[in-house]
Amino acid sequence: MQLLPRRLAFRSLPTPAPARLAVWGLLVLTYAIGTLSSHAQAPGDFKVEAFCGSYAPWGQNQRLTIAPSGSVSYYESDLSVPGGDSLFVSISPAELEAIYDTVLAVSFFGLNNVYDSGAVDGSGIVLRITASGSTHSVEARNIAVSQLNRVVTTINTILAPDNIALNYGALNP
């Protein structure tokens, strides 16, 4: 048996055109999936502000700010008792990016400004996010908004080790 040089053997078995296109298509698809699944870097002005709690003259209110540096300030008050509790912590750049990824995934900047169930009293949240020079606020009044809940659930998961959890009644993780 006579062996052909490798170059000749390769040329003697040409790859059909549809197979080559499939390989190129697979490579392009793999690149696109890798690009889409990678984490986006949070812009330098990325900031999160949340105000949530009771609309009644009793109950609890919370205020949370996550600065571009990752510093977190949290304030909690009971409306029927003077004063409140404050907590200051920091989150990592990776945790900040996880929040930003969720903001992008739910198309936060495309959400309506207000979602209102029409109920009186109850609770709600205003989530205001700044990124890339734009600020967008979304308010949910006594109603669950799944995209908003996803962002808040991400924030709550990241801040759980610090015993911080935003709660506004309509949060359904």
Domain spans in the chain, listed from the N-terminal domain onward: 6-37, 47-162
107 residue type, one letter: S
For the CA atoms of the chain, what is the radius of gyration?
A: 25
Neighbours of 38 (CB within 10 A): 9
Enter the pTM of the model. Answer: 0.75
- Rounded Cα distance, 78 and 84, in Å: 7
Write down the architecture of domain 47-162 according to CATH. 2-Layer Sandwich (3.30)
| pLDDT for the residue numbered 171 | 66
Q: How does pLDDT run across 97-128, given as a tens digit for each residue?
A: 999 999 999 999 999 999 998 887 788 999 99
DSSP 163: T
What Å distances lie between residue 57 and 9, 69, 75, 78, 137, CA to CA?
84, 34, 18, 10, 23
